[in-house]
Structure formats: C-alpha cells, structure tokens
Amino acid sequence: MSAWWLRRYGRAEMAVDIGPSEVKPVYYAPPHHMWGRGAMGAKPQNRHGLLTLTAFIATFLVAVTVTLFVILPAIVFLPVVGP
C-alpha cells in the first residue's frame, strides 16, 4: 500500500492470513512527508517523519528570515563610495 501525491510514497507491506468470510482490520498511516515510509499494522499506526518535516520547515523559515532582515538590508543600504 502507498499514498499518491506527485509520485507514490509511504509504501508499507503486511502479510495477512484471511480465511473464507473472515474480516481482519488492517490500518495504514502515510508519512508526514513524501520521503518517508508508511506504517501498516493490525492496530492504528503512528505516522512517521514529523521530526524531519519540522526541521525542514524551521530551516526554511530561518533562511527566509535571515535573507529578509540581514542580507537584503545590507545589500540595499550599501554605502556608495565614489571618486
């Protein structure tokens, strides 16, 4: 089993023995991001990859903040040195 968004991700497999007219619950939980693996089991599963997703978002926000408040003002307000 897997999820789909731009590509297949979150693949998980589980062997289940089912007899005639027998029903067994199987739970699947996709990961929080496209590069993680899914989880499958007989009980409800936790989703993987929350720490990775949080670290990626935090890194992106720090990069944007540094760019907006440190790098761009330094470039815009450079003193013009002329002859």
14-73 pLDDT per residue, tens: 998 899 999 999 999 999 988 888 999 999 999 999 999 999 999 999 999 999 988 888
- pTM here is 0.65
What does the domain layout of the chain look like in residue ranges?
3-76
Q: Give a three-class secondary structure readout of the chain.
A: CCEEECEEECCCCCCCCCCCCCCCCCEEECCCCCCCCCEEECCCCCCCCHHHHHHHHHHHHHHHHHHHHHHHHHHHCCCCCCC
